[in-house]
Structure 1
Amino acid sequence: MVVSKGPMTRQLTNNFYTCRPSAAVLMLCMLALLGLLALPASARASDLLSATVDRNEIGIDETINLRLRYSGTERGGQPDFELLEQDFDILSRQQSNQYRVINGRAESFIEWILVLAPKREGKLFIPSLHHHGEVSDAIPIAVSEPGSRPDAVNRQAFLEVELDKKEIFVQEQLLVKVRLYTTIGLHDIATEALQVPGAHVEKVDEQRYERRINGVSHAVYELTYAIFPESSGELTIPALTYVAVAGRRDPFSLFNRNTQRLRLRSQPQTIQVAPKPDTYTGSHWLPAASLGIVQSWSQDPDTFTVGEPITRILTLRAEGLRAAQLPPLPKISVDGLKTYPDQPQQDDQTSSNGITGSRIETTAIVATKPGDYQLPPITITWWDTKTGRQRATQLPAFRFTVQGNAAPTNTAPPAGTEDLSPQQNASAPESNFWRSLAIIAIASHLLWVVYFLRQKKNRDSTSNRKVHRKGTGLEAIKLQNAASRGNPLEIQAALHQWVQAQWPENSGKSLAHASQALELEELSRLQGLLGQALYAKPPRPLNKQQVEILVKKLIDKPTRNTKPPQEGLPNLFY
Structure 2
Amino acid sequence: MVTPVETYSFPTHRKPFVSATIALVTKALCALLLLALSLGASAQELTASVDRNELAINETFTLTLRYSGGQRGGQPDFDLLEQDFEVLSRQQSNQYRVINGQAESFVEWTLILAPLKEGKLFVPSLHLHGQVSDAIPITVNQAGQSPSGNSRKAFLEVELDKDKVHVQEQLLVKVRLYTTVGLHDIATDQLQVRGAHVEKVDEQRFERRIDGVGHAVYELTYAVFPESSGELQIPALNYVAVTGRRDPFSLFNRNAQRIRLRSEAKTIQVEPKPDSYSGSHWLPAASLGLVQSWSKDPEEFKVGEPITRIITLRAEGLRAAQLPPLPALNIEGLKTYPDQAQQEDQPRMNGITGSRIETTAIVATKPGSYQLPPVTITWWDTKNGRQRATQLPAFRFNVSGAPIVNAADPGKAAPASSGSPSAVPVEPGFWQKIAIAAIASHLLWIFYFFYLKKGKAAADIRSDSEARGAAEDSGALMDKIKNGNPVYIQQALLQWVNSQWPHTRGMNLADASTHLKIPELNQLTQLLNDAAYKVPPKPLNRSQAQTLASRITRGEKSNDSIPEVLPQLFS
Task: Check conservation: 2:146, 2:157, Cα contact below 8 A.
Answer: no
Question: Where does 1:143-292 land on structure 2 (aligned, <5 Å)?
Answer: 143-147=140-144, 154-251=151-248, 255-292=252-289
Q: How many residues align?
A: 399
5+ unaligned residues in a row in structure 2: which ranges? 1-40, 423-496, 505-516, 518-550, 563-571
Q: Which moved more, 1:301-310 or 1:93-102?
A: 93-102
Counterpart among 314, 318, 325 of residue 315 in structure 2: 318
**Which of these residues, 54, 62, 66, is aligned with residue 69 of structure 1?**
66
Higher relative contact order (CA 8 A, sep 6+): 2
Aligned equivalents of 1:420 and 1:108: distance in 2? 129
CA shift, 1:65, in A, is: 1.9
SS at match of 1:128: coil
Corresponding residue SS for 2:303:
coil
Partners of 1:520 and 1:178 in 2: how far apart? 29
Deviations 1:253-275 (A, max 9, x none): 55433222222212111111111
Cα distance in structure 2, aligned partners of 1:215 and 1:520:
46
Residues 1:393 and 2:387 aligned together: no
- Secondary structure of the residue aligned to 1:75 is coil
- Counterpart CA distance in 1 for 2:253 and 2:498 is 51
| Pair 1:78-2:78 in alignment | no
Deviation at 1:106, TM superposition (A): 6.3
Cα-Cα RMSD: 3.4
Provide Cα deviations, 1:361-414, integer angstroms capped at 9, x if missing partner.
111111111111111110000001111111110101111111111123435644
1:272 partner amino acid: Q
- Alignment partners' CA distance in 2, 1:129 and 1:206: 44
- 2:344 corresponds in structure 1 to 347
- Quick one: which of 55, 59, 76 aligns to 1:58? 55
Counterpart-to-counterpart distance in 2, 1:149 and 1:239:
15
Q: TM-score, normalised by structure 1?
A: 0.63
Q: Kindly report which structure 2 residues correspond to 1:91-170, keeping only aligned pairs within 5 A, or say none.
A: 91-98=88-95, 108-147=105-144, 154-170=151-167
**Post-superposition shift, 1:179?**
1.0
How far residue 284 of structure 1 moved from its aligned partner, in angstroms, is 0.1
Equivalent-residue separation in structure 1 for 2:175 and 2:102 (angstroms): 55
Amino acid at match of 1:240: L
Partner of 1:432: none
**Which AA in structure 2 matches 1:383?**
W
Aligned residue in 1 for 2:379: 382
Alpha-carbon distance in 2 for matches of 1:149, 1:279: 41
Native 8 Å contact 1:45 1:137 kept in 2: no
Task: Tell me the SS of whatever aligns to 1:83.
Answer: helix
Do 1:122 and 1:143's aligned partners in 2 also have CA atoms closer than 8 Å? yes
- Which AA in structure 2 matches 1:198? G
How far 1:464 sits from its partner (Å)? 6.0
- Partner letter of residue 279 of structure 2? G
Post-superposition shift, 1:213? 1.6
1:147-171: CA deviations, max 9, x gaps?
5899997222221111111111111
User: Contact 1:63–1:261 (CA<8 Å) still a contact in 2?
Assistant: no
Cα deviation for residue 67 of structure 1 reads 2.3
Query: In 2, distance between residues paired with 1:394 and 1:360?
Result: 16
Whose Rg is larger?
A: 2
TM-score (norm 2): 0.64
Q: Is the 8 A contact 2:288 2:390 kept in 1?
A: yes
User: How much does 1:252 deviate?
Assistant: 5.7
Distance 1:420 1:356 in 2: 75
Partner of 2:566: none
- CA distance in 2 between counterparts of 1:180 and 1:174 reads 20
User: Does the C-alpha gap of structure 1 residues 58 and 378 become closer, same or farther in structure 2, counting only changes over 3 Å?
Assistant: same
Identity %: 71
Q: Does the aligned pair in 2 maintain the 1:249–1:258 contact within 8 Å?
A: no
